[in-house]
Chain A
Amino acid sequence: MKASRDLLLVLAALLALLALSAASTLLPPAPWKTAAGLAIAMMKLAVIALYFMRLREHRGLTRVFAAAGLFWLGLLAVLVLSDYLTRGRLH
């Protein structure tokens, strides 16, 4: 199992991040906690993508394809929010 020490480290990091987000519920509810939860989720995603999905080794096109899905989802979210966030604002 020695050869997989690096993977174990990655797992430990992921579980630590999970513990962090779980622990955040002990604090009193506050607006920043949603952002914190999402930030931690993004970090977990990055760790899994880079190490478990081996994007660290596969550069170039594979990374572009990997990022394309998220980027396009961002386009949808931003433009739909441009409608919902400004309803009743300009009237």
Chain B
Amino acid sequence: MSADAPPPGYLAAEPGILAWFRTLDHKRIGLLYLFSITGFFMIGAAAAACMRVALLSPQGNLIVSDTYNRLFTLHGVVMIWFFLIPAVPNVLGNFVLPLAIGARDVAFPRLNLASWYIFMAGGALVLYAIAAGGVDTGWTFYTPYSSTYSNGHVMAMAAGVFIAGFSSIFTGLNFIVTIHRLRAPGLTWFRLPLFVWSLYATSIILVLATPILAITLFLMALERGLGVGVFDPKIGGDPLLFQHLFWFYSHPAVYVMILPGMGVVSELFACFARRRIFGYRVMACALLAIAALGFLVWGHHMFVSSQSLYAGLVFSLLSFLVSVPSAVKVFNWTATLHRGSIRLDTPMLYALGFVALFTIGGLTGLFLASLAVDVHVHGTYFIVAHFHYVMVGGMVMAYLGGIHYWWPKISGRLYPEWIARSSAVIIFLGFNLTFFPQFVLGYLGMPRRYAIYPPEFHTLNVCSTAGAAVLGLGYLLPLIYLPWSFFRGAPAGPNPWDATGLEWRTASPPPPHNFEETPVVTAEPYDYPPPP
């Protein structure tokens, strides 16, 4: 093999552009998702940039309130359903899962491609709704505003999200059956890498939560279309029922976003500390515990919504209990570094950034789980800061860490290390400057979704916008050097990080059928040799 070019592998196996749209290869479908969600990320990020610039002035001189309302709805819908939820499962999961369990492909390859087309159909509908005039209900679509009073393109956007929901369901279904049925010989459940465990837990949530979103949006659209429905207070309906059904999906959905990130971080800590994850079985069970408990806590979104007092107590208690497994995972990651042999490559920087920011996000989650505090900070920027710390500080850092970690396997080439490390640091700093001031804004009482705000919040908003600029720069760098390295990077060889895991036992980029002969697993996961 010539030194300067990686083996052709799956990238050259099906030549031509059209092949990309008929491929059943899970690796190519992973890349299809990579391109599409990067596009959606840019649309969502542009909306965020406009909002941050608009918030530079308290009186909202740049844009009118209606435009601002459409921007935050666009930012919410596109970022959640078309970037955060599909990011790690559909890009890294599609690419790595079959490799990590020693399989040729996922259980239902045709369904895998169909789910990408369904995802794009949903995305097209949402983009149409945005282009045609946008929606101003927020990504939560609360009735009766969304079903009766809003005059945006709610039906088209709700239909787009409804369709994209099926893409999540089919991906979850595919992964559950794949992990159960296609594991390599010798690969028992407790020899699975934690990234596979996290995909399994995420798939359970995807399959069991998304249908409720589908029926909720269907009923809301029915009410909007026919002018009558189950949530309409004028005929005795209860808007809180919409909130119950919506959050029954939407809280587990935030665990769909964070669990795969936790799986990636466990892989990165094991590889770059060259040590078996501390408490491997507890970490695996914690993933399942978070997935299961995550279904019981949605009421903490409704503490002030005139939900019954008793339900508030029940949901607050359950919300505190669901935080325990997350806290335990963070302790285990730190314990993994103990007596490790640590290298701070880019993926490790992202993993450490994840742990730092996820810890802050998780701890502020405790503020929100406790009833009395939530009554004060619900609906303020404290909430905005909390979920950005968990989703952007947590999930996006883990996603970028995973992209860099498996980039040699995806492209067969290495990315430029020093630029990548500096962009990781820029992202970390920019992120904190953007969102930490929002905790203070939230405590001071600045409500969210406000296009104009009282002058005393002006300074903190200016800091936040400054941070957003730095964060935006940080995100631009990988968009430049990663595509560059796809064609110009140095060949990576099968195992540049000399990590354990079946995906590193085949060529980079791997051949279409993944393994020359199906690998047999004998060792425990992450059995790195003890340091010299």
Contacts and interface: CB of A to CB of B under 8 A. Distances in A.
Interface of A: 61, 68-69, 72, 75-76, 79-80, 82-84, 86-91
A83 B311 contact: yes
Nearest to B204: A68
Interface stretch (B262-270, B302-310, B340-348, B432-440): B302-310
Given A76-B248, A80-B244, A86 B212 contact: no
Contacts of B296: 75, 79
A75 B212 CA distance: 12
A86 B208 CA distance: 27
Interface of B: 180, 208, 212, 240-241, 244-245, 248, 295-296, 298-299, 307-311, 314-315
A62 B387 CA distance: 37
A3 B180 CA distance: 35
B208 A82 contact: no
A3 B80 CA distance: 54
Nearest to B252: A72
B244 A83 contact: yes
Contact of B310 (A69, A75, A80, A89): A89
B212 A76 contact: yes
Q: Which of A76, A84, A90 has the most CB of B within 10 A?
A: A76
A21 to B, nearest CB: 26
Q: Which applies to chain B's interface (DSSP): helix, strand, loop or mixed? A: helix
Contacts of A91: 309
Contacts of B310: 82-83, 86, 89-90
A69 B211 CA distance: 11
Given A75-B296, A89-B308, A82 B314 contact: yes
B208 A88 contact: no
Nearest to A91: B309
Given A68-B208, A83-B240, A75 B295 contact: yes
B455 to A, nearest CB: 39
20 contacts: A61-B180, A75-B296, A76-B212, A76-B248, A79-B298, A79-B311, A79-B314, A79-B315, A80-B248, A82-B308, A83-B307, A83-B308, A83-B310, A83-B311, A86-B308, A86-B310, A87-B308, A89-B308, A89-B310, A91-B309
B295 A72 contact: yes
Contacts of B307: 83
A90 B309 contact: yes
A49 B16 CA distance: 48
A68 B245 CA distance: 18
Nearest to A68: B208
Contacts of A90: 308-310
A26 B288 CA distance: 49
Given A68-B208, A83-B244, 20 more contacts: A69-B208, A75-B295, A76-B212, A76-B248, A76-B295, A79-B296, A79-B298, A79-B311, A79-B314, A79-B315, A80-B241, A82-B311, A83-B307, A83-B308, A83-B310, A83-B311, A86-B309, A86-B311, A89-B310, A90-B310
Contacts of A87: 308
Nearest to A87: B308
A22 B295 CA distance: 37
A82 B315 CA distance: 10
B208 A72 contact: yes
A21 B366 CA distance: 50
B299 A83 contact: yes
A67 to B, nearest CB: 12
